[in-house]
Amino acid sequence: MRVVIAEDAAMMREGLVRLLTDRGFDVSAAVADAEALRSAIEADPPDVAIIDIRMPPTHTDEGLRAAIDIRRDHPTVGVLVFSQYVETRYATRLLADRPTGVGYLLKDRVADVADFVDALTRVASGGTALDPEVVGHLMRAGRDTAGLASLTPREREVLALMAEGRSNAGIAAALVITPGVVEKHVANIFAKLGLPASDTDNRRVLAVLRHVSG
Amino acid sequence: MTGKNGPMTALRAPFTTLALRRLVFCVAGVVGAVAVLAVPALIPSAAALILQVTGAFDEEPAPVVAPVFLVLFPLTLVALAFLAAPLGRAMGTAQRALADRLLGERVEPAVPRPGWRAVGYSLLKIPLAIPQGYGAFCYVFGVVNLSYPVWWPLFRNHPPGTTLEPVRALTPFGFLEAQTFSRTFVIAAAGLAMLLIAPWLMRAGTVLDVASMRWLLGPRGLDERLRRLQAGRAQAIDDAAAMMRRLERDLHDGAQIRLATLAMNLGMATEKLGTDGPAPDLAQARELVALAHQGAKDALAELRDLVRGIHPPVLDNGLADALTTLATGSAIPVSVRVGLPDRPAPAIETIAYFCAAELLANAAKHSRAQRITLAVNGTADHLTLTTTDDGTGGADANGPGLSGLARRIAVVDGTMQVSSPVGGPTRIVIELPTHV
């Protein structure tokens, strides 16, 4: 699987290259700013790009803007946006058109290598990976507080994991329950929130996010 | 007017550019006074003009005049009540601009903008016009009268026996007449006297005018203080915001990145060690743990620097210890002397410390000095921080570094004096109150 990394802190960039190479990824380019990222993607579109939000020259949101452009111009390239803090506003901008092949994670998540690699693989193959922090913000700031209040604590956990973009198998593994139990919880959640049941993970994420964030 | 006081100064006075500038200012002042007098008469005059044109005045007796003026008089009063303040302000602004351009006298605009005070100034223009008008008159007609003997032969060359009216010359005390060439010298003498007295009249007119401007149009004592406090507060808020931004940037790009990388290396090391049993890749795990260890030490060093930049802990022991510590970190040898009767307020100590830090850093960067002396002296109320270096001088008090420092000092009513001739030495004296 081919990856492009855009991260301005050299230490972090080299660490990521090492980690991903070690895990068998092919890092085709590792760049330090949004312009170099755009050219690298133009020259040779990878399966997925890891993009730091804050990069030179302005150190504001050039990474995010590049990520949105890449998602528009290269729908096949997965985009994992990577930052030291999460902004709900950034998440909604990123997910605006479609929640496929996209991720938004805190940089801290690289500490759990297996989870991070799992999220990256999911994004590369068209899935979704949202940071639990983002999902928490969205759910707290969401409009359907009554609907959320009607869920059991377990169902809320399942909902949060769904919103992160995990599959039923992933949710089952995370909560240490069987996939059958997960399916039952999911059905209950959809019924309680009045969402149309959907089979694929992506449509499910979209439905859940639309529901909680309005 | 420069130079020594004496007869020559008085003789030269009419012929300086300052006299000409004052002349223009005085003429403008007279025009302004006439305008002030004319404003209340505008509506009645317009009415009179209309009556004249329509022929109403020709009827005997003029029937419409009395009712028209009965309406117009109150109308004028109402209009004046509404227009007086804007007109007064316009007059004030124009006069301030003139004083600035012609006399180099800057009168800062008052905040809030003046209303009735500006009207008061406009009314004062009328008595002010007396010295101004006399001054301008004496100046212009002084020159004219002085020239009578010159043009007398040109115009008085009629055939003998022609009877001519005497030539008249205008002076402040009425007309002088000249029937003969020799009499024109009396007129010229009067002209010279007028020309010599004119600068003093114009000077009186302009000085009184500028004083009234300062009194009525300029910021009053409290206004001025308020303006300075507002500027100081804005500066303090900007500084605090800039400080927070810098802190965020330093943490984001420094310690946070180091810690994230460290966590990543430890995460990878954990994988290399495996969950139980013999490690799958012990060599790599060791290398990663070593990297993480180094990363943790770097992060600590970075945080320590950052913390010292926010508030040097040694400052808690007092300025003397803090400045001595600061001096040991300087590339150029610094001798420190601190003599303070009491400890200043903590905020003042902090400001003094960061001033000293900035001045030492500046000296290290630009001065090429061999030695720096850093002295702090004070009384119960004031603290003086003096840095002297034997470098090449040429420090610019208006440059971004020093002017920024001056602005920050001004927040607590402190002052800074910079003496840095090219070739050195540079001496910078900062005065701060000991309590905010």
Kindly report each contact of residues A87-90 with a partner whose C-beta sits within 8 Å and lies 24 or more positions away, as own/partner: A88/A134, A88/A137, A88/A138, A88/A141, A88/A213, A90/A53, A90/A61, A90/A64
How far apart CA A130 and CA A191 sit, in angstroms, is: 23
What is the spatial distance between Cα B282 and Cα B298, in angstroms, rounded to a whole number?
24
Residue A101: name the closest of A72, A75, A82, A73 by CA: A75
C-alpha to C-alpha distance for B294 and A7, rounded to whole angstroms: 21
Residue A203 scores a pLDDT above 80: no
CB contact under 8 A, B256 and A22: no
Here the ipTM equals 0.84
Q: Which residue does chain B place closest to A8, by CA atoms?
A: B253
Predicted confidence (pLDDT) at residue B1 exceeds the cutoff of 50: no
Contact B264 A112 (CB under 8 A): no
- Verify whether the Cβ–Cβ distance B249 to A59 is below 8 Å: yes
Q: From B263, which residue of chain A is nearest by alpha-carbon distance?
A: A111
Smallest CA–CA distance from B260 into chain A, residue: A108
In chain B, % of residues over pLDDT 90 = 35
- pLDDT number for residue B129: 92
pLDDT at B360: 92
Determine, for residues B260 and A107 on separate chains, whether the beta-carbon distance falls below 8 Å: yes
| CB < 8 Å from A in window 34-63 of B | none
Task: Indicate yes or no: pTM above 0.90.
Answer: no
Of A9, A54, A111, which has the smallest distance from its Cβ to B266's Cβ? Answer: A111
- Tell the CATH superfamily of the B313-433 domain: Histidine kinase-like ATPase, C-terminal domain (3.30.565.10)
Cβ-in-10-Å burial (0-12, 13-18, 19+) of A114 comes to exposed
Helix (H) / strand (E) element for A102: namely: strand A102-106
Tell me A25's DSSP state.
-
- Domains of chain A, CATH where assigned: 2-130 (3.40.50.2300), 137-213 (1.10.10.10)
Taking only the tens place, the pLDDT of each residue in B74-107 is 888 888 888 888 888 888 889 989 999 888 888 8
pLDDT of B190 > 80? The answer is yes
Averaged pLDDT for residues A181-200:
82
User: Taking a C-beta distance cutoff of 8 angstroms, is the pair B306, B346 a contact?
Assistant: no
Measured between beta carbons, the chain A residues lying within 8 angstroms of B270 are 113
Nearest C-alpha of chain A: how many angstroms from B235?
A: 24
A14 to chain B: nearest residue by CA? B261
Residues of B in contact with A22 (CB under 8 A): 268, 284
Percent pLDDT > 90 in chain A is 54
pLDDT of residue B15: 80
Picking from A60, A45, A47, the residue whose alpha carbon sits closest to that of residue A8 is A60
Asked if B261 has any chain A CB less than 8 Å from its own CB, the reply is: yes
Ranking A79-93, B46-60, B307-321 by mean pLDDT, the lowest is B46-60
Chain A residues whose CB is inside 8 A of the B256 CB are: 84, 107
Chain A residues within an 8 Å CB radius of B294: none
| Region B422-436 average pLDDT | 90
Closest residue by Cα to residue B256 from A7, A124, A170, A107:
A107
Residue with tokens 């949105």: A68
On whether any CB of chain A is under 8 Å from the CB of B123, the answer is no
Distance from the Cα of B243 to chain A's closest Cα (Å) equals 17
Q: Per-residue pLDDT for B335 more than 90?
A: yes
Q: What angle do CA B138, B144, B149 make, to 5 degrees?
A: 130
Q: Which residues contact B338 (CB under 8 A, 6 or more apart)?
A: B319, B320, B323, B375, B376
**pLDDT digit string (tens) for B119-132?**
889 899 999 999 99
pLDDT value, residue B64: 61
| pLDDT above 60: residue B241 | yes
| Interchain proximity B268–A84, CB inside 8 Å | no
Residue B177: strand, helix, or coil:
strand
Q: Which residue has the higher pLDDT, B193 or A144?
A: B193
What is the pairing mode between strands A78-83 and A26-31?
Answer: unpaired
